[in-house]
Homo-oligomer: A and B are copies of this chain.
Amino acid sequence: MINLVVVGSLALDTVKTPFGRVKDALGGAATYASYSASFFSKPAIVGVVGKDFPQQHLRLLEQRGVSVEGIKVDGKGKTFRWQGYYEYDMNEAKTVKTELGVFADFKPQLPESYKDAEYVFLANIDPELQLNVLQQVKKPKLTLLDTMNYWINNKRQKLLEVIKSVDVLLLNDGEARQLFETPSLVKAAAAVLKLGPKFIIIKKGEHGALLFGDGSHFSAPGYPLENIKDPTGCGDSFAGALIGYLAGKGSTEEKELRKAIIYGSVVASFNAEDFSLERLKRLTAADIEKRYREFERIREF
C-alpha cells in the first residue's frame, strides 16, 4: 500500500559550485524528496520525464523502494533541465537556464493505488496543480506544502488558497518574510497559522530550521558542515526525510514532527556533501542515526 506520495519535478541538472561541476545529473525536487523519504518509509512519485530520461535513474529509485508508477514518460518532449551555479558563500542558487520541456504541460495524475495515501508532499510546482493534487487524495492525514518566491510573486492568491488547505507549510526565511511583508518570522508564522495550517516550518539553511505551532515553538540547530560541495536539493531532501519519517511512524504529533525536522536536517546535511544524489546513494541508516545523535549533543546545555 502506498502511504506517502511526493508530487513534483524530476530533472537533469547542470550545476557548478566552487568545488566542482556536473552536467545533466539526476535532480528535481521529487527525486531528492522521495529518495530521502525512502530511508524511513515507502514513497511514491508523481511526476513527468521525457524519453531522454535515463532508465538507470528510474531503477535507482526503484531499488530504494520508491514507487515510480506515477512517473509519466512523455514521448513528445525532453526532461526538465535546470542549469545553475553557486558562488563562494553557497547560500543561494543562481539560475543560468531553465528548460521546462515536458514539465511545461505537467498535469499530476495520481494512479488509483496512490489515492489512499495518508501523507502527501506537494513539492514546489504551480499552486493550481498543487490544489488539483489535493482534490485527488481521499483522506490525507498530513499534507506538506513547499513553494518558492516565483509563485509568491506571480500567483499569490492561488498560493494562499493552497496554504489554507494544507496541514504543514514549508518556507525559507526570505519567503516567509516576503509572503507576509514583515521582517518578523514570528509574525509571519502567526499569519500562516491563522490561515489554516497546524504548523509552519521555516528553513534557514546553515542556521537550521524553526517550527511554529499553536502556542509552541521549536528551533532545530544547523549542522556545522565543514565541506559543502553542492547544496542543490537540500531543501527537498529535508522535506522528504521529514515527511518520510512521519509516514513511517504514522504520526502527525508535534513531538514526532520535531524529531522529523532533525531527521530532515540530517539527510539534508549529508546531501550537501556531494553533487546530485551521490552522497545519498552511499548513505546508510547507521550514518543517519550517528548524525542524529550528534544533533542531540550539539544542542545540549
Residues of chain A touching chain B, judged by Cβ–Cβ distance below 8 Å, are 88-90, 183-187, 204, 206-208, 210, 212, 217-222, 224-226, 228, 258-259, 261-262, 296, 298-301
Please measure, in the bound complex, the distance between the C-alpha atom of A226 and the C-alpha atom of B182, giving whole angstroms.
11
Q: How far is the CB of A257 from chain B (nearest CB, A)?
A: 9
Q: Contacts of A204 on B, CB cut-off 8 Å?
A: 207
- Give 21 pairs: A residue, B residue, CB < 8 Å, sorted on A: A88-B183, A89-B183, A184-B225, A184-B226, A184-B228, A185-B224, A186-B225, A187-B226, A204-B207, A208-B219, A210-B224, A217-B298, A218-B298, A218-B299, A219-B222, A219-B224, A219-B298, A220-B301, A221-B221, A261-B301, A296-B301
A213 to B: closest C-beta gap in Å: 12
Give chain B residues whose Cβ lies under 8 Å from the Cβ of A219. 208, 221-222, 224, 298-299
Cβ A301 vs Cβ B259 within 8 A: yes
Of A207, A212, A221, A301, the most chain B CB neighbours within 10 A belong to: A301
Q: Which residues from chain B contact A88 at a C-beta distance below 8 Å?
A: 183
Chain B, Cβ-Cβ closest to A91: B183
- Whose C-beta in chain B lies nearest to the C-beta of A301? B258
8 tightest CB-CB pairs across the interface, nearest first?
A219-B221, A207-B207, A258-B301, A186-B226, A89-B183, A299-B299, A219-B298, A186-B224
B300 x A258 contact (CB < 8 A) = yes
Q: How far is the CA of A212 from the CA of B207 in the complex (A)?
A: 15
Contact yes or no, A90 B183, CB < 8 A: yes
A172 to B259, CA, bound (A): 29
A301 touches B218 (CB 8 A): yes
Contacts of A208 in B (CB 8 A): 207, 219, 221
Distance in angstroms from A120 CB to nearest chain B CB is: 23
Q: A224 to B220, Cβ gap below 8 A?
A: no
How far, in angstroms, from A58 to B298 measured CA to CA in the complex? Answer: 40
Closest approach, in angstroms, between the C-beta of A173 and any C-beta of chain B?
A: 9
Q: Which B residue sits closest to A294, measured CB to CB?
A: B217
Q: Which residues of B contact A210 (CB under 8 A)?
A: 224
Question: How many Å lie between the Cα of A222 and that of B186 in the bound state?
Answer: 12
**Complex CA–CA separation, A89 to B182 (angstroms):** 9
Least Cβ–Cβ distance between A108 and chain B, in angstroms: 33
Min CB distance, A176 to chain B, in Å? 12
Q: In the complex, which residues of chain B have a beta carbon less than 8 angstroms from the beta carbon of A183? A: 88-90
Known: A204-B207, A207-B207, A207-B208. A299 touches B221 (CB 8 A): yes
A264 → chain B, closest Cβ, in Å?
11
